[in-house]
Structure formats: structure tokens, C-alpha cells
Amino acid sequence: MSRRAPGGVLRPQRLLHEATRDSARLRPPSGIGLDSPGVRMRMVERLRQLKLADDFVLSAFERVPRHRFVDSAFVPQAYEDTSLPIGHGQTISKPSVVARMLQLLAEAPGRLRGGAEVRLGRVLEIGTGCGYQAALLALLSERLTSVERIAALHHGAQARLSALKSELPLCSFQLLLADGSLGRLGVGPYDAIIAAAGGEAIPEAWLQHLAPGGRLVAPVARGAGGQRLMVVDRVRGAEGPQEWRLTECEGVSFVPLKSGVLV
Ligand code: SAH
């Protein structure tokens, strides 16, 4: 039966119905869909089976809604172990890679004070991106500084983290719009430094901002377009060239560390 009024004009009631239906269709799926806590828990279970991280690190993955950090088109893939585009040619890293890096920070020798509940301390992140890893870090750290060089990503992450603050017990955090390969890295020293972008070498400023007993985890270029994950421990109390101990880990694939700020 036609609901059109004489003259072909849609009745207001019908218009309202269609508008409601369209807004429901355009909204990213929620509740029982692909962004439900159940789907998130299944992702965490898969990470647990991979034995990449312990309960301390996985507790953060259980709580942070990854689907809120990606574009609505990617919500159905938000809890798959895959990297996803976040705009401006950048990507949010695979959950398994993030878990591995956070676990490396959690296992820093200087941090082991007996007990899984000891937090990561003062943390610096290079490459805020969409803010997902920053949110995980903000649940695991005492305070967090995160640096991003692309203004649009910086502002987006700021909005998401500010919204999440009322829902989760995030530590005090500061997001900076800056080139993280230079010295503008907030107030150091840091107990943990983590980079989500890889350059030719680890910038000197990062090494200097690392506290004695602290650990840095970063991808570094290793010939023919490959990258490797590097762990740098700053040995407590030591002096001279042996102060930073470097361990080369597995091959990885991160976006490049670039210079300058894009506003
Ligand atoms: N941890 C992020 C991953 C983002 S990808 C997330 O959860 O989304 C890496 C980010 O590093 C990109 O946003 C890129 O713009 C940023 N980046 C690259 N070079 C940088 C630099 N010199 N200073 C700060 N950020 C940088």
C-alpha cells in the first residue's frame, strides 16, 4: 500500500521512519555485532594461545575497544590479527605485534620488582597514530607521553583517549604534536620507550631519554627494505660505551620514521 500523500509527497511519518532506518544502517555495528566484548575476548584468547604476552599485558587488550580506533569501514576486522589503515598512509599495528612489544617492555630487567602487577612506569611512545597502543599503554603505565608528527592523527587520538578517560582507569597522559626523532619528547627520563615507526638507526635523543634500568623497543631498518625489532637496555649505574645494551630480535614491518611535522 502506498504511503504517499496526494501529489506524491512522502508523509512526515514515513520520512521519519526512513531517516531512522538510514541512520541505523549508517551507524557502525554495535552491541552484539563484530565489535562486541565477546569478539574482543576471542582476540585476547588467540593472543594468549600464541604465548606472546602475559596476563598483565593481556588485561589491557581485554579492556580497550580496538574498533573505536579504526574507521567504521574496518570495524568488522577490528579484532582480527591484522594491521589496518588509519589514514594519511599510516597503519594501526597488528595486535600480536603490539602484544609482543608491550611484553618486551614488561619484561625489562630494571622493571622486575617481583610481581606481575608492577606498572611500566614513565613511558614514551613514538607514533601515536590512532591512539590504540597509547590507550593500552595508559592502562599499564604510571604516566604516558606519546608523540605524533601528523596533526590530524594527533587530534583524532586526543579525542578518542579523552572520551575513553571516563570509561577506563587511564594513567595521566600527554599527547604531543612533534617530530619524535628529534629532542622534543616531553619530560624524561623514561623507564620505557616504544616506537611504532622504524628509521635507519635509533635516534640519539631516545637513548638519552631512557632512564638507567629502562628499556627501549623499536623497529630499525636492516638493508633491502627489511626491519628488525631492537631492544635497548640502559644498564643501571654503568658508565662508558657499554651503558646501552642492544639485542636484535625478529624481522618486522612498520611504517617509516619520518622527519618534520605535518599540520
Ligand atoms: N601505535 C600506533 C601506530 C601508528 S603507525 C597506533 O596504535 O595506531 C606509526 C605512527 O608513527 C604514524 O602515525 C606516523 O605518522 C608516526 N610517525 C612516523 N615518524 C614519526 C616521527 N618522526 N615522530 C612522531 N611520529 C612519527
Residue 125 reports pLDDT greater than 80: yes
- Burial (Cβ within 10 Å: 0-12, 13-18, ≥19) of residue 5: exposed
DSSP state string for 152-185? HHHHHHHHHHHHHHTTS---EEEEEES-TTSS--
Q: How far is CA 198 from CA 77, 146, 194, 223, 225, in A?
A: 25, 16, 11, 12, 11
Atom of ligand 1 nearest to the CA of 157: 8
Q: Where is average pLDDT lowest: 16-20, 31-35, 123-127, 248-252?
A: 16-20
User: Residue 254 and residue 112: Cα distance in Å, rounded?
Assistant: 28
pLDDT for position 11: 57
What SS3 state is found at 22? Answer: helix
- For the Cβ of 206 lying below 6 angstroms from any atom of ligand 1, the answer is no
Instruction: Express as a percent the part of the chain with pLDDT over 90.
Output: 75
Sorted by where each begins, the domain ranges of the chain are 4-252
**Distance of CA 11 from the midpoint of ligand 1 (Å):** 51
Residue 183 burial (CB count, 10 A)? 14
pLDDT, mean of residues 232-244: 78
Top mutation candidate among 150, 158, 193 for ligand 1, by most atoms within 8 Å of CB: 150
User: Regarding the domain with residue range 4-252, which homologous superfamily does it belong to in the CATH classification?
Assistant: Vaccinia Virus protein VP39 (3.40.50.150)
Query: Ligand 1: distance of its center to the CA of 21 in Å?
Result: 38
**83 has pLDDT over 60:** yes
Q: What is the DSSP string of 76-140?
A: GGTTSS--EEEETTEEEPPHHHHHHHHHHHHT-GGG-SSSTT----EEEEE--TTSHHHHHHHHH
Task: Provide φ and ψ at 144, rounded to 5°.
Answer: -130, 135
Asked if residue 106 lies in contact with residue 120, where contact means CB atoms within 8 angstroms, the answer is yes
Q: What is the per-residue pLDDT across 41-72, written as a single tens digit (0 to 9) for each? A: 999 999 999 999 999 999 999 999 999 999 99
0.85 surpassed by pTM? yes
Indicate if the pLDDT at residue 6 is higher than 50.
no
Q: Which three cell numbers stand for residue 13?
A: 511519518
Does residue 132 line the site of ligand 1, with CB under 6 A?
yes
Q: At residue 12, does pLDDT exceed 90?
A: no
Contact 108, 233 (CB under 8 A): yes
Closest CA to 65 of 125, 136, 113: 136
> Span 12-31, mean pLDDT?
52
When the pLDDT of each residue in the chain is averaged and rounded to a whole number, the result is 88
Q: Which residues contact 246 (CB under 8 A, 6 or more apart)?
A: 230, 231, 232
Asked if 188 contacts 124 with a C-beta cutoff of 8 angstroms, the reply is yes
Angstrom distance (rounded) from CA 188 to CA 190: 5
Q: Which of 93, 141, 146, 181 is catalytic?
A: 93
C-alpha torsion 190→196→200→204, nearest 10: -10
Q: Is the pLDDT higher at 188 or at 151?
A: 151
Catalytic, 93? Answer yes
- Give the Å distance between the CA of 92 and the centre of ligand 1: 9
**Looking at this protein, which amino acid is placed at residue 51?**
K
Residue 238 has a pLDDT of 59
Grid cell of 24 as nine digits? 541505523
17 CA distance to ligand 1 centroid (A)? Answer: 43
